[in-house]
Amino acid sequence: MSSEKRPTVLSGIQPSGRLTIGNYLGALKHWLGLHDRFDCYYMLVDLHAITVRQDRDALRERCHEFLALYIACGLDPAQNVLFVQSHVPQHAELAWVLNTYTQMGELNRMTQFKDKSAKHADNINAGLFTYPVLMAADILLYQADRVPVGDDQKQHLELTRDIAQRFNKVHGPVFTVPEPMIPPVGARIMGLQTPTAKMSKSGDAETDALYLLDPPEVVTRKVKRAVTDTDNAIGFDVAAKPGVSNLLSMLAALSGEAIPALVDRFEGKGYGHLKGEVAERVVALLTPIQTRYHEVRAAPDYLQQVLREGAQRAAGKAAITLDRVHDALGYIPR
Ligand code: AQP
């Protein structure tokens, strides 16, 4: 599938917590089908995951679970390079170099660092701080032209562009400067119980997120109990009606209908109608994904083979970029 002239897309998800409908609508859904026009690289970013303490067995299990979910959502390993970040050592090597092209002040401004250090106050490690540099290395290593991510990653993408431009200014055009691909709807799905905060895959409250492996009755129950407000009038206003607006955003992303059209269609109807339709749509999306997931998950040799081949293909491309970087820096070739 790879051809030198095709632009490259790269994205990834941390194998921490459980994949949510936010991850699907903000990221995974937009990865599908891009292989027609791009060389596509999709990772499980396990180096990023250890910025928060992980249990050894659970991490390994989760990498297999997430890979099976990537495939079940429709990412065909024959058309997309699926791999685990730690299988390609060039990520960590390039991150070190890029650390020296990144300013402390820039990292201090990253909102994810502020959020995560508040959440994990007992373990504010240097990796948490330099996380965006590793992310820049992930992207620049593959000379990615486009990076499909949710809105929460926009700030990291901007920093990646700054780092690439800074390096290129000193050393010539070594890196492709990537563009983000942020979906117009569904780019930031909020929590069902706390609709003012992003739906998170590692949150503490089970009922705040819809997980891709939630059974239908659980989905229906969680949506039914989603926080709304007391006026029972369906309208889109993120500040005044965050819960209802979040349900409308989800429905728009799931159905393809525009938000104003949804507001018109639900005029005069209560929140129960909106919740009913959201739950139905989520269940219809997840049912075939879950069936396929269980098939793929029952084939560990296949999953291992996907990872082996993915790592080989990714490392081939990564090595070319790292050699160029080393050459630009004046390192003696091996
Ligand atoms: N709520 C969301 N709405 C839209 N897009 C989202 N993404 C994540 N949450 C939403 C997108 O999913 C991709 C993977 O992001 P990540 O690996 O950083 O995972 P996360 O879900 O964002 O992780 P959390 O919630 O911070 O918990 P941890 O990291 O502790 O597991 C990205 O493209 C992101 O934009």
Residue 41 main-chain phi, psi, to 5 deg: -120, 120
Supply the residue whose CA is at minimum distance from atom 10 of ligand 1: 22
Q: Indicate if 170 and 277 belong to the same structural domain.
A: no
In contact, 306 and 82? CB cutoff 8 Å = yes
Domain membership of residue 233 as a residue range: 206-294
Residue with token string 């990520």: 91
pLDDT digits (tens, 9 = 90+) for 119-141: 899 999 999 999 999 999 999 99
- The CATH number that applies at residue 231 is 1.10.240.10
Q: Which atom of ligand 1 is nearest to the CA of 13?
A: 17
The per-residue pLDDT of the chain, averaged, comes to 96
Q: Indicate if 44 and 173 belong to the same structural domain.
A: yes
What pTM value is reported for the model? 0.94
Nearest CA to 97 out of 334, 321, 333 is that of: 321
Q: Indicate if 123 and 56 belong to the same structural domain.
A: yes
Q: Indicate if 216 and 145 belong to the same structural domain.
A: no
Pocket of ligand 1 (CB under 6 A): 13-14, 16-17, 22-23, 25-27, 52, 149-150, 152-153, 187-189, 198-202
In a domain, residue 1? The reply is: no
Task: Please state, in angstroms and rounded to a whole number, the distance separating the CA atoms of residues 271 and 181.
Answer: 32
Q: Which residues pair with 211 in a beta bridge?
A: 20
Distance 89 CA to ligand 1 centre (A): 24
Distance 286 CA to ligand 1 centre (A): 18
Q: Which atom of ligand 1 is nearest to the CA of 11?
A: 33
In contact, 73 and 119? CB cutoff 8 Å = no
Q: Report CA torsion sign: 317, 320, 326, 331.
A: positive
Start-to-end C-alpha separation, the chain: 30
Residue 73 predicted with pLDDT over 90: yes
Report the percentage of the chain scoring pLDDT > 70. Answer: 99
pLDDT digits (tens, 9 = 90+) for 259-290: 999 999 999 999 999 999 999 999 999 999 99
- Give kind and range of the element (H or E) at residue 191: none
- Altogether, the residues listed in the chain come to a count of 334
In a domain, residue 191? The reply is: no
Residue with token string 């959502």: 73
Q: Indicate if 96 and 43 belong to the same structural domain.
A: yes
